[in-house]
Structure 1
Amino acid sequence: MQTHFNSEYPSVEHLRAKAKSRMPAFAYEYLASGCFTEVNLARNTSDIRQVQLQPWYLRDFDGADQTTELFGETYDAPFGVAPVGLQGLMWPNSCQYLAQAAVDHNLQFTLSTVSTASIEDIGQITNGRFWFQLYHPAEEELRDKLLDRAWEAGCRTLVMLADTPTFAYRPKEIRNGLSIPPRMTLRNICQMMMSPAWAMGQLAAGKPEFQTMKNYIPKGLNMKHLGLFMNKTFSGRLTENKIAAIREKWKGNLVVKGVVNPADAEIAVKHGLDGLIVSNHGGRQLDRGQSTIVPMYKLVPEFGGKLKIMIDGGMYSGADIASCLACGADFTFMGRTPMLGVCALGKYGGHHTFEMLKKQLQQVMEQVGCSKVSKLREHLIAESVPV
């Protein structure tokens, strides 16, 4: 496979600076910001980076292998693309670019219900090897239509979203008047004029829309921001009854995203779920909650043998991925990191980002003498975990 690694951008920090310079401020802030004062957004990463690993230098070592098996699929690395809404607003065609990059790198890709690419398009790009994250609709008929479309497109792992029972209070989005298309305030117009690459890309791609939901949205509906659309179309809180109904209908792997406590994990096990993703929606919903890494220390020992325990949020490097795997995660997901790659470098930004993360993780594994990702747990220094 042709390399697209750009040595001018060897870290996410470099990608972030480049992306910020190319994007309108309202688009960058939608990608990068959290809710309220962004305490939990920062805590996600800072807690992960407290984790320390123990190297073994004087043992035999034949090399590190990142290959990871998950739900019967084998991936080239233990990380995947988390579901992100409104990707096309942040950079034109970014959802399709990332899906193609995931295919080329044999990585996992998850599509959000409110992304700007359709289920069918992503199914075609990935040859059906993708996951679909469901925002639970208020009406069962719409729910069943979405599930049927995902299954017909080849999806065999469904992710139910649990951590958005209400629309978050995000000051930056409120100030920006975020909408689809963006509200034409003078400030927004000036920002777009100062971002010519973004603007030209949007002209070529067409205005970003909720492609999966497009046929269900009344024509001419004016949405101030994502939250208004969500409140009208989706029921928000995931309940046991809703989980049971989906478990009965969905014949593939079923995962719940947003679990952070043992009580919710017990419900997942009770209803025969196959996995859970520890997540706080990237620090975008609850500003005074725990970071993503802290719940792992309770959930992994109690539920690790009953279902797959994965984690999403706060990871921006291969070292961050290694820390989460060392704390017991079976798999990791990142949303902002791949998006920053595309926003910085365009079509091949996902390729660059995936190559970068693989290089970083490989270095950590070789440095500590870890042959397989599943053995990173043996290198955890327990005293370092931020409990």
Structure 2
Amino acid sequence: MSLERRYQNVEDFAKAARRRLPKIFADYIDGGSFSETTLRRNRDGFDHYTLRQRVLAPLDPKPDLSVTAAGRSSRLPFGPGPVGFLGLYRKDGDIAVARAAARAGIPFVLSTFSINGLGTIGKAAGAAPDFQLYLDEDPAVNAEHLEACRNHGVERIFLTVDTAITSVRERDVKNGFRSVDRMTPGLFWQFARRPSWSLNLLRSGFPEVELVRGRAEFGRGAMAQAGNLSRRLDKNLTWDTVAELRKAWSGQLFIKGISDPEDAALARGAGIDGIVLSNHGGRQLDHGRSTVSMIPEVRDALGPSAALFVDSGFRRGSDVIKAIALGADYVLMGRPFAWAVAAEGEAGVNHLIQLLEREIEITLNLMGLSSIDELRRAGTEVLRP
């Protein structure tokens, strides 16, 4: 059966990915913190807004979905956000997502926790990715990361600030993710039960995180490196940290992990180019609000000059439309791209992008709109509570 018939939406990819992946990785992608209440609220938040249907309007059957945010254009109003360890879900998974994004004319954000590094990704995709920066407790390591970004042509950095305190993700604790640094009988059994994944990924040995490969303090193998990278995150991030990074980095700087209007107002005065309104996909503070519900007040606090990106919980084209109508400039998606590449590799990511693009086109036309610009101008007039 063709991809077009097998996969009609994001959840189809998620189901296939769960069947293919060892439980330790499927749960890592799926899981949230503690009771996973924020994780659920991220999805439920979209149901608080309905879309206004208009008919008999002159329409372009191929709506213009292009956007410009923070001075950069994208053919579509969404793109793959940073997801750690894409190369563990399928061999060279991060390369596959980067290539598909480049082909679609949308930016790709590479995680610090990616298997392949900046140079490898840039060469494979034909363009430098954006980079999600986690700050290490050692300033020298951070300086090396920034230098690598400069050397490989990175234009935009996303400083992630909501993980200095790592929350408890109970699924990961049960599975030993970030605490298992060697093969155990249980892990061996999980891998043995997923022969397709094992044959694809393990033929050349267990992968490593290229960014820290060969550095003894981070260990060997992606599992050990994941734990050490997490344990070494700078626990003392403040607005002074942002100011110091702003001085050190001349390219675009976004703060990822803002989820309160007061913090958005502080960001406005920090000399940054934009923020990502994010609760880390429900993986940090439990019992928080959905990000989509916070867009209007965060937009007001941030002001019109800085870019407002948003992530967490996005699964449908209509979700993207609601976010932009509420005041967001761009949407980042994490889990959907992880599921797509785990399920079907680069072909799956291509198909996912096409599915979401078509959902947005059809939904805009049914709303009597022919472009994202029209949607932005209409704003909340196209929504009903």
Which TM class, normalised by the smaller chain length? over 0.9
Aligned partner of 1:19 in structure 2 is 17
Q: 1:98 to 1:223 in 2, by over 3 A?
A: closer
Taking the aligned partners of 1:115 and 1:240, their CA distance within structure 2 comes to 26
Deviation at 1:181, TM superposition (A): 7.1
Taking the aligned partners of 2:262 and 2:231, their CA distance within structure 1 comes to 29
Aligned partner of 2:28 in structure 1 is 30
Secondary structure in 1 aligned to 2:268? helix
Deviation at 1:381, TM superposition (A): 5.6
Aligned partner of 2:282 in structure 1 is 283
Amino acid at match of 1:142: V
Deviation at 1:124, TM superposition (A): 1.8
Deviation at 1:221, TM superposition (A): 5.8
Q: Does 2:55 align with 1:57?
A: yes
Aligned residues: 382
Secondary structure in 2 aligned to 1:254? strand
Taking the aligned partners of 2:321 and 2:41, their CA distance within structure 1 comes to 18
* 1:262-288 CA-partner distances (Å, limit 9, x unpaired): 221122221211100000111011111
Aligned partner of 1:254 in structure 2 is 253
Aligned partner of 2:109 in structure 1 is 110
Q: Is the 8 A contact 2:119 2:152 kept in 1?
A: yes
Secondary structure in 1 aligned to 2:110? strand
Q: 1:223 to 1:149 in 2, by over 3 A?
A: closer
Taking the aligned partners of 1:231 and 1:8, their CA distance within structure 2 comes to 37
Higher alpha-carbon deviation: 278-287 or 228-237:
228-237
Deviation at 1:352, TM superposition (A): 1.2
Taking the aligned partners of 1:199 and 1:346, their CA distance within structure 2 comes to 14
Q: Does 2:38 align with 1:40?
A: yes
Secondary structure in 2 aligned to 1:238? coil
Higher alpha-carbon deviation: 238-247 or 202-211:
202-211
Amino acid at match of 1:380: T
Amino acid at match of 1:373: I
Taking the aligned partners of 2:218 and 2:83, their CA distance within structure 1 comes to 24
Higher alpha-carbon deviation: 350-359 or 201-210:
201-210
Higher alpha-carbon deviation: 117-126 or 283-292:
117-126
Aligned partner of 1:380 in structure 2 is 380
Aligned partner of 1:340 in structure 2 is 339
Q: Is the 8 A contact 2:95 2:125 kept in 1?
A: no
Aligned partner of 2:74 in structure 1 is 75
Taking the aligned partners of 2:347 and 2:237, their CA distance within structure 1 comes to 36
Identity of aligned residues (%): 28
Aligned partner of 1:151 in structure 2 is 150
Q: Which runs of 4+ in 1 moved over 6 A?
A: 222-227
Taking the aligned partners of 2:214 and 2:181, their CA distance within structure 1 comes to 20
Map 1:227-242 to 2 at 5 A. Answer: 228-242=227-241
Map 1:294-309 to 2 at 5 A. Answer: 294-309=293-308
Amino acid at match of 1:158: I
Taking the aligned partners of 1:228 and 1:187, their CA distance within structure 2 comes to 18
Q: 1:223 to 1:166 in 2, by over 3 A?
A: farther
Deviation at 1:127, TM superposition (A): 3.3
Q: 1:330 to 1:237 in 2, by over 3 A?
A: farther
Q: 1:383 to 1:334 in 2, by over 3 A?
A: closer
Q: Is the 8 A contact 1:113 1:213 kept in 2?
A: no
Taking the aligned partners of 1:358 and 1:237, their CA distance within structure 2 comes to 40
Deviation at 1:220, TM superposition (A): 4.5
Deviation at 1:175, TM superposition (A): 0.8
Aligned partner of 2:98 in structure 1 is 99
Secondary structure in 2 aligned to 1:108? coil
Higher alpha-carbon deviation: 231-240 or 118-127:
231-240
Deviation at 1:379, TM superposition (A): 5.8
- TM-score (norm. length: structure 2): 0.92
Taking the aligned partners of 1:325 and 1:226, their CA distance within structure 2 comes to 37
Map 1:292-371 to 2 at 5 A. Answer: 292-371=291-370
Aligned partner of 2:125 in structure 1 is 126
Q: 1:355 to 1:382 in 2, by over 3 A?
A: closer
Taking the aligned partners of 1:294 and 1:49, their CA distance within structure 2 comes to 10
Q: 1:145 to 1:172 in 2, by over 3 A?
A: same
Q: 1:382 to 1:363 in 2, by over 3 A?
A: closer
- TM-score (norm. length: structure 1): 0.92
Q: Is the 8 A contact 1:55 1:379 kept in 2?
A: no
Secondary structure in 1 aligned to 2:309? strand
Deviation at 1:36, TM superposition (A): 0.7
* 1:158-197 CA-partner distances (Å, limit 9, x unpaired): 1100111211101111111124876533332222112111
Aligned partner of 1:166 in structure 2 is 165
* 1:348-368 CA-partner distances (Å, limit 9, x unpaired): 111111111111111111111
Secondary structure in 2 aligned to 1:273? coil
Taking the aligned partners of 2:306 and 2:187, their CA distance within structure 1 comes to 46
Taking the aligned partners of 1:222 and 1:21, their CA distance within structure 2 comes to 24
